Amino acid sequence: HKVVFPVAGLGTRFLPATKVVAKEMLPVLDKPLIQYAVDEAVDAGADTLIFVTNRYKHAIADYFDKAYELESKLQEKGKDELLALVQGTLPKHVRAIFVTQPEALGLGHAVLCAKPVVGDEPFGVVLPDDLIWNGAIGSGKGALRQMAELADAQQAGVIAVEEVPHDQTDKYGIVDAAPIDERSALIRYMVEKPKPADAPSNLAVVGRYVLPGRIFQLLEQTTPGAGGEIQLTDAIDALLKEQGKVLAYRFEGIRFDCGNKAGLVRATMHMA
Ligand code: G1P
């Protein structure tokens, strides 16, 4: 029911646009990146969306807020289709909560900032940079819904993975996992951004997680790791060490890495 969106990054790869526009508000065709992430979370059954943000990201809150003036103008002019688009950014049963991450201390730290809102129930994490498309919502199951169903059936944490070229392991969290079936595997351990020579496999974590509330206590004990940052990967590895069950899941759908220019262009072409 609860999904965390860590969106406090500076978006330096898209400067100068991101000097004033939050990276998550960059459009993929006609929708901002964050909308694809939110649609996927709502499709998975989320009713509480927690955005971990910072002082430069007010546009995200504004985007999901009601736009009274615009809505009444569209209504007056009978532009019903446009009105539906403007009102449809967040379904009525879904609430958005904004939490600030006061310092950029890493993904693990960003997720930990959501602890007071999530409590100790299982929750989802979606990194909006990774746009995963499995046909329009409604035609194919979104990746997070696939994962939530598996987490529920197996009473386990679930992390989305994808094979990446061996020379790119240092850009991802990498898992060592024992296959269960063609889509899922039991993770033995995981490591953040290993050099290709040290990587246990080329199975990389992409930006979707279903995690137990226990992860928050482990994050509180996690010390800075790769890049001097508090890594979510390290806390999940600690969960595995205390016998936590976490599955790696090869989702159905295509992933676009919209954290870089080529990926954003590819996603846009695909949607077009
Ligand atoms: C984060 C995670 C990494 C994961 C990646 C997926 O890294 O730390 O484990 O593989 O997202 O996009 P980042 O891309 O924020 O450096």
Ligand 1 atom nearest residue 129's Cα: 12
Report CA(36)–ligand 1 centroid distance (Å): 18
Measuring CA to CA, which residue among 229, 251, 26 is closest to residue 158? 251
* Diameter over CA atoms, the chain: 63
Instruction: Please give the distance, rounded to the nearest whole angstrom, from the Cα atom of residue 83 to the centre of ligand 1.
Output: 36
Q: Whose CA is closest to atom 11 on ligand 1?
A: 207
Give the model confidence (pLDDT) of 78-120 as tens digits: 999 999 999 999 999 999 999 999 999 999 999 999 999 999 9
Protein residue closest via CA to atom 15 of ligand 1: 107
Q: Is the CB of 237 under 6 A from ligand 1?
A: no
Whole-number pLDDT of residue 138: 60
Identify the CA nearest to 37 among candidates 258, 272, 263: 258
Closest Cα to atom 7 of ligand 1: 172
Q: Does residue 243 have a pLDDT over 90?
A: no
Identify the band that residue 135 occupies on the pLDDT scale cut at 50, 70 and 90: confident
Cα distance between residue 191 and residue 204, in whole Å: 10
Q: Which residue type sits at 49?
A: L
Nearest CA to ligand 1 atom 9: 173
Q: Is the pLDDT of residue 215 over 90?
A: yes
**77 CA distance to ligand 1 centroid (A)?**
45
Give the distance (Å) from ligand 1 centre to CA of residue 258: 12
Q: Which of 78-82, 132-136, 176-180, 267-271 comes out lowest in average pLDDT? A: 132-136
Q: What pLDDT is stored for residue 206 in this prediction?
A: 97
The position carrying tokens 């846009």 is 268
Distance 45 CA to ligand 1 centre (A): 24
Q: Is the CB of 40 under 6 A from ligand 1?
A: no
Q: Is the CB of 127 under 6 A from ligand 1?
A: yes
Q: What was the pLDDT predicted at 182? A: 94
- Concatenating the DSSP letter of every residue in the chain gives -EEEEE-----GGGTTGGGTS-GGGSEETTEEHHHHHHHHHHHTT--EEEEEE-TT-HHHHHHHS--HHHHHHHHHTT-HHHHHHHHTTS-TT-EEEEEE-SS---HHHHHHTTHHHHTTS-EEEE-TTEEEESSSBTTB--HHHHHHHHHHHHTSEEEEEEE--GGGGGGSEEEEEEESSSSEEEEEEEEES--GGG-S-SEEEEEEEEE-TTHHHHHHHPPP-GGGS--HHHHHHHHHHTT--EEEEE-SSEEEETTSHHHHHHHHHHH-
Residue 166 neighbours by CB distance under 10 Å: 11
6: pLDDT strictly greater than 80: yes
- Looking at the predicted structure, is the pLDDT value of residue 9 above 90? no
pLDDT at residue number 139: 72
Q: Is 190 a pocket residue for ligand 1 (Cβ < 6 Å)? A: no
In short, whether 204's Cβ falls inside 6 Å of ligand 1 is: yes
